[in-house]
Structure 1
Amino acid sequence: MNAPRFPNVTRRSLLLGTGALVVSFSLKDHAFAQEGELNVPAKPPEPVATGPKLPGSLADTPSLDAWIRIDADSSVTVYTGKAELGQGTKTSLRQIAAEELEVPPASINLITADTAITPDEGFTAGSQTVQNSGTAIRNAAAQVREILIQQASSKLQVPADQLKAQNGRIVGPDGKSIGYGEVVMTDMLHVDAQPKSKLKSPDAYEYIGKPFARVDIPAKVTGGPAYVQDMRLPGMLHARVVRPPSWFATLKDIDTASIKAMPGVVAVIRDGNFLAVAAEKEFQAVQAMRALTDLAEWEETPRLPNEQDLPAVLQKSESEQGVVAEAGGDFTGGITTFSAQFMRPYQMHASIGPSCSVAHLDNGTMTVWTHTQGVYPDRKAIAQMLGMPLDKVRCIHTEGSGCYGHNGADDAAGDAALIARALPGRPVKVQWMRDQEHLWEPYGPAMLTKVSASLDVSGKIVNWKYDLWSNTHSARPGSAGALLPGQLMASGFPPDKPVMNITPLGNGDRNAIPLYSIPNMRVLWHFVADMPVRVSSLRGLGAYANVFSIESFMDQLAKEAGADPVEFRLKHMEDPRARKVIATAVEAFNWSSDPMPEGRGRGFAFAKYKNHAAYLALAMEIDVDKETGKIRIPRIVSAVDCGEAVAPDNIRNQTEGGIIQSLSWTMYEEVNFDNTRIMSSDWSTYPILRFSAVPGTLDVHIVDNPGSPYLGVAEAAQGPTSAALANALANATGKRLYNLPFSPARVKATLGV
């Protein structure tokens, strides 16, 4: 990757010119409260005229020219504010646009998140890309197609209802045709989208639902330039940061003269507790970083709690209580009441590729290439940190080798920008080291949950109480205080104050409400504002721990009711799509309640992600070695309904990846710390699932619903996977584990070995 991917131009200058379907573009500033992932509530929207709501992200950016461009040569460019994070965005969005524009997907130039030229779609988070951006692009493309047909009608002198779009041309009944580029006119698409679009019928699809090779894969599997880590710009400097040894450490005076004299060193940058070095070559930067680390003296303060007592720490740290859901009110019914407590530790993103970013201050404009999940929020934070006008900072999403949540990508972008400000005119690349990624990324919050429920004489649940204790699940950028360099520099931007934010999209409370039919229910979030370690968004937010708890407890209740776990769930499930997904999974798995050989068990779990996204049911079979505590997984079968299946291969890829990631969390991952420092600094102290532990077979069955709305799918597997494993372990051993992860030591201790 030898140069910036896009010219240093504004959206308007890019689009100006004759013979193009778009000439201008405007974005309104709006709050970035998406997916319940910001600490501060969104500002109240300004009053607008009432009317039908535009579909998807068109509601925020209605102008058609924000999404589609067609040039005089008939070339098509599609814009999205979403980022490719490995979920196949660059392929699936092309398929969607191609379907309605009637052009081959490969012919479309797709431009992803860039603050200079793409719509502001907030964060790429919560499995919302196809659901929001895909919906916007599809409707915009359909309306563009109809505008092209109307324009061609006057040129061909043929009624519009006798014309059709085909392979980039408008074709008449007599075979005469005209290319898209021949009918374009200045400002033709500088109009707002309409609420209703003339969408193609599913039986006419050429691209949606069909297999297409992902466009981002070739470079990734051949070692080509695929990631921000691969960027090489002319005159680029290499930089490394020196982090404090612990969160509350303070840097004492340091003499950097010897470092500045090292070969290739261009500068040592110190700003408060922020310390970095820049050099001509990468290894020179590494050597200087190591020498600087040896020289630096820090004053540390022991302020971390006892990790062995996390449940009590969370409970006594409660600062606020919120009602997530409440129904009925009769909690005295039922003949028997059961209860349980579950615990999830702090967990890492543990990105395989440590975070990286490139920044360049040139002629007063700071350009940052970053793997952030939100280029607009990141731009705002960086501009505040540097004291620069917002329009003088540009953030361009560039893929990084690791993500799905708020990892170190935004911080690396802040590092690069702060160092580049001190070295104007030269691009600066900041690459984190492995221990820096492990020790300084924001972790997925620890969670404590308690659940109790009562059964009536027929074995049905009559009341349900659920309590969860958790930090906020987002400290994403939006302010300089969300960036590590912003917190460490002398100006000392404070982190945003965490606030409890209960929304339908969910935060720590995501999926805390069971989808089952229960007449009396109360769900409470006991909010923990004081965060002993740095936390933010990890894939799925609270859904992972909440589904783990709910679905584990459903199995316990089924056992008490003397019912098959699947039948017990169906007895409480009214949603027909949920029932179909459950039926698909258990049929493909060949589910039964027959006894299994000693040490072998089967488990099942279900959830509808956020209760309004993809449905996912999963069954697995496991073997447990009681002597070692190790778990082996011969097979997993899942079924998923995410509405209309745009890209079946991507759906399978994301579901398989989500299952494997969840298995890693569930069996291995836990952040360890003493009273001062994080101790999980590498792969030996923070083990993850290895290839040898991958399931023997993993089958994903897609329950397609052509013509129905898109439902987010990328994070649907996390919760059901953990619960199915817990249920299989209980089935295999007769003992249930309530605390994550299910490490060999914990399994052995539970079994009394």
Structure 2
Amino acid sequence: MARREFLLKSGYLSIGFSLLGCTQGSNAATPTPLGEAADFSLDPQMAPLPDGSRIDAWLQVLENGQVRVLTGKMELGQGLKVVMQQVAGEELNIPPQRIDVLIADTGRTQNEGVTAGSRSVERSAMTVRRAAAAAREYMKQLAAKKWETDADALELTPEGVKNNSGTILSFTDLLAGQQLDTEIPQDVSLKPKDQYQWVGSPVPHPDLEKIVRGDAVYIQDMRLPEMVHARLVRPPVYDARLQSRDQAIERMPGVLQIVENGSFLAVIAEEEYQAVKAADALQKSAQWESGTALPEVRSWADYMLEQGEKANHPAPASGNAHHAIYSKPYVMHGSIGPSCAIAVYDEERLHIWSHSQGVYNLRATVSDMTGIPEESIRVTGVRGSGCYGHNGADDVGGDAALIAVAFPGRPVRLQWQRSDEHQWEPYGSAMRMELSASLDNSGRINSWRYDLWSDGHSTRPRGNAGNLIGARLLAEPAVFGGSGRVGGGTRNSEPYYRIPKVDVSDHHVAGPLRTSALRSLGAYANIFAIESFMDELAKKAGKDPLDFRIEHSDDERSVAVLEALRDLIKSEPAAAGEGLGIAFSRYKNSASYCAVAAKVRVDLEQKKIRPLKMWAVLEAGEAINTDGLKNQTEGGMIQSASWTLKEEVKFDTQEILSKNWTEYPIIRYDAIPETEVVIIDRPDLPPLGAGESAQGPAGAAIANAVYAACGKRVRELPIERYLFGS
């Protein structure tokens, strides 16, 4: 019995909703609400995009008078949509809930590159703010011309422009079918901050209620008419090649086609479970030529030194010198929902729905892989089930494109399996961090040397097909250009402290596993090492760890978050077996300030570490949405706790072993610590990105708390493995 028939006969109806309307033209009407069928018309060119210096590149008035914001950035769960609503609504005097936000789409929005590096608020949202302010002044000027009055005497309201007598001209009447096709002045006047109604307030994220209810929100939920389903069959290791397969799989129920191109192997079926069963049979029957064996690794600290570029380490300068080596393993993005994409091809044009963080980059890369011109490819962003960094989203988009081109005419939905996601996503690189420092007679640091070893931290597709894993499996395989040097691995490698002599060097390692950008890139490991080392130096100097950091800080904003953290934890008791640890960083040494404290319980006999509570003080300049900042910080601390205590990609010489949640454990709901976050708002300063600020100090705070609880300093991650030997 087919799944659909079974569900109907059992009295349960499963309905797949389309997520968005892909209506034609830049002057489209109101967006298609959830539950209505999507128009997936294959017109990748759409209307020509307005120049990015014009208001209508960022802001449009729809036929019903509703205002739409257009952003080339992707909503990842970081709350970008509500921030866009707030800043645009503030400048236009329109409640944020009445602002529609259209996210990344190569047919509709500007090319704003990749949504990464915690830059979306300080760059993209501020561009939207300026566009909204320009729109306000432009519409007031249009009304002033109609009424032959002074624009300064007019007011923008949610219904339109109002004059002193209370008469209102609606936005649609003012524009008379046109758009806001005028330049954004360089000196546009923003709304005075003392008149803010919504910025700085905890405006709820528009999608949270839908997510909690389990509504159709993600690409994984998206359904299109006449859609078929696909599954992949992957080789056991990266460069293994297909030798043979069972040709009878095509005759299995529901199977429409087997796509075979070199070692790229996929099955297409009418129903999803039919595709799953056929792919499973295909996986069991496929024979592969052995690929390159993976190395045996006992210690990442040793491996990175042995395989990487060499460094010379000077002897300690004095008896007050201190030296330590830290390391972290490969870590997964570990998205709870495996990656998914939908693609449809009509033998001329290709349309892809994807949760890629760079839709224009994906378009260029798919063009390079398939030979289809970029202008004939459209990539529409649909949020995925959560990821900070380069997980499998681009790869599955490329895979879906390959399958759709081989099976034109009907939309193809490709859902990766859990094993696909765990084995084939690009991981965060393993790293080694070696530190040496000396103290003067007063216990202050007078010299600092830092060496780090890492593979590259970004292999995002940027027009090069070799960065898509599927393209490397084709009969004419695309060539992977490599991960480059350390790249983002150097992020936060320089201590954000006042130290007379600092020497920082990076050393590239061509590691055995696929790597790319994972939330905060190298900052997590660098801050873990630096802030663990600061605690060790504080102990050597006989000083309180928090006082020691303040003593080495000459930035008053750093001192403010540390002092605020002191106030949060000053009365916190610690029983036997419990410990309190702290850490601090300024993300990228130029973005948000974050100080974190962690309280843990360590049971050496039972081999258990329980994070009890975590505190954070965050300062990100002007706080647009205080709840959003708290959410990001809470989530960052919990994710970091999981990385620090548990996570490690395991493999043997033949394959990746971490294929599921049993073999790659993450922190469970019943182990999540209580969290408390304080936001220091600086409305007089520009807003700063905060989505990646907590990971580094949170990990170091936990390591320092473990030391405080049991007296054992763990310098290799994950802590549970190296503390308990498991």
Same-fold call, TM > 0.5? yes
Match of 1:490, SS state, is coil
Match of 1:252, SS state, is strand
In the alignment, does 2:348 pair up with 1:359?
A: no
Deviation per CA, 1:325-357: give whole Å up to 9, x if none: xxxxx9987651101000000011111111111
Match of 2:244, SS state, is coil
Structure 2 counterparts to residues 33-432 of structure 1, below 5 A: 61-71=52-62, 73-184=64-175, 189-256=180-247, 258-319=248-309, 336-362=320-346, 364-432=348-416
Alignment partners' CA distance in 1, 2:288 and 2:79: 44
CA contact (8 A) 2:332 2:422 kept: yes
Partner of 2:497: 516
Question: Among residues 611, 616, 621, which one is paired with 2:594 in the alignment?
Answer: 616
Structure 2 residue identity aligned to 1:300: S
Deviation of the 1:222 alpha carbon: 1.5
Percent of counterpart pairs with the same letter? 43
**Alignment TM-score, normalising by the size of structure 1:** 0.89
Deviation per CA, 1:185-232: give whole Å up to 9, x if none: 676633332333211122211111122221112222222211111111
Structure 1 residue identity aligned to 2:228: L
Partner of 2:4: none
Q: 1:108 to 1:82 in 2, by over 3 A?
A: same
Q: 1:672 to 1:749 in 2, by over 3 A?
A: closer
Deviation of the 1:172 alpha carbon: 2.4
CA contact (8 A) 2:333 2:389 kept: yes
Structure 2 residue identity aligned to 1:703: I
CA contact (8 A) 1:72 1:182 kept: no
Alignment partners' CA distance in 1, 2:702 and 2:486: 30
CA contact (8 A) 1:352 1:402 kept: yes
Alignment partners' CA distance in 2, 1:571 and 1:340: 22
Structure 1 residue identity aligned to 2:490: D
Partner of 2:686: 709
Alignment length, in residue pairs? 695
CA contact (8 A) 1:277 1:289 kept: yes
Alignment partners' CA distance in 1, 2:516 and 2:202: 35
Structure 2 counterparts to residues 576-591 of structure 1, below 5 A: 576-590=556-570
Alignment partners' CA distance in 2, 1:111 and 1:79: 5
Alignment partners' CA distance in 2, 1:559 and 1:618: 19
Deviation of the 1:13 alpha carbon: 8.4
Alignment partners' CA distance in 2, 1:599 and 1:393: 59
Structure 2: stretches of 5+ with no match in the other structure: 1-15, 31-45
Alignment partners' CA distance in 2, 1:224 and 1:360: 24
CA contact (8 A) 2:531 2:583 kept: yes
**Alignment TM-score, normalising by the size of structure 2:** 0.92
Deviation of the 1:132 alpha carbon: 1.2
CA contact (8 A) 1:233 1:427 kept: yes
Compare 207-216 and 67-76 and name the one that shifted more. 67-76
Partner of 1:47: none
Alignment partners' CA distance in 2, 1:534 and 1:24: 38
CA contact (8 A) 1:354 1:402 kept: no
Structure 1 residue identity aligned to 2:524: Y
Alignment partners' CA distance in 2, 1:27 and 1:321: 51
Partner of 1:721: 698
Structure 1 residue identity aligned to 2:233: V
Partner of 2:5: none
Deviation per CA, 1:530-550: give whole Å up to 9, x if none: 231111111110000000000
Deviation per CA, 1:110-143: give whole Å up to 9, x if none: 1000000001111111111211111110011111
Structure 2 residue identity aligned to 1:318: G
Partner of 2:22: 7
Structure 1 residue identity aligned to 2:658: S
CA contact (8 A) 2:49 2:108 kept: no
Structure 2 counterparts to residues 369-518 of structure 1, below 5 A: 369-478=353-462, 479-500=464-485, 507-518=488-499
Q: CA RMSD in A?
A: 2.3
Structure 1 residue identity aligned to 2:297: E
Deviation of the 1:308 alpha carbon: 0.9
Structure 2 residue identity aligned to 1:598: A
Alignment partners' CA distance in 1, 2:652 and 2:380: 38
Match of 1:307, SS state, is coil
Deviation per CA, 1:495-524: give whole Å up to 9, x if none: 12332375xxxx000011111001110111
Compare 284-293 and 155-164 and name the one that shifted more. 155-164
Partner of 1:545: 525
Deviation per CA, 1:274-299: give whole Å up to 9, x if none: 00000000111011001111110012
Match of 2:719, SS state, is coil
Deviation of the 1:243 alpha carbon: 0.4
CA contact (8 A) 1:74 1:182 kept: no
CA contact (8 A) 2:457 2:483 kept: no
CA contact (8 A) 2:28 2:62 kept: no
In the alignment, does 2:685 pair up with 1:747?
A: no
Match of 1:103, SS state, is coil
Q: 1:647 to 1:420 in 2, by over 3 A?
A: same
CA contact (8 A) 2:50 2:56 kept: no
Alignment partners' CA distance in 2, 1:531 and 1:335: 36
CA contact (8 A) 1:659 1:718 kept: yes
CA contact (8 A) 2:432 2:452 kept: yes
Match of 1:308, SS state, is coil
Match of 2:677, SS state, is strand
CA contact (8 A) 1:314 1:448 kept: yes
Deviation of the 1:27 alpha carbon: 7.1
Q: 1:334 to 1:312 in 2, by over 3 A?
A: closer
Compare 186-195 and 437-446 and name the one that shifted more. 186-195
Deviation of the 1:303 alpha carbon: 2.5
CA contact (8 A) 2:245 2:282 kept: no
Structure 1 residue identity aligned to 2:580: R
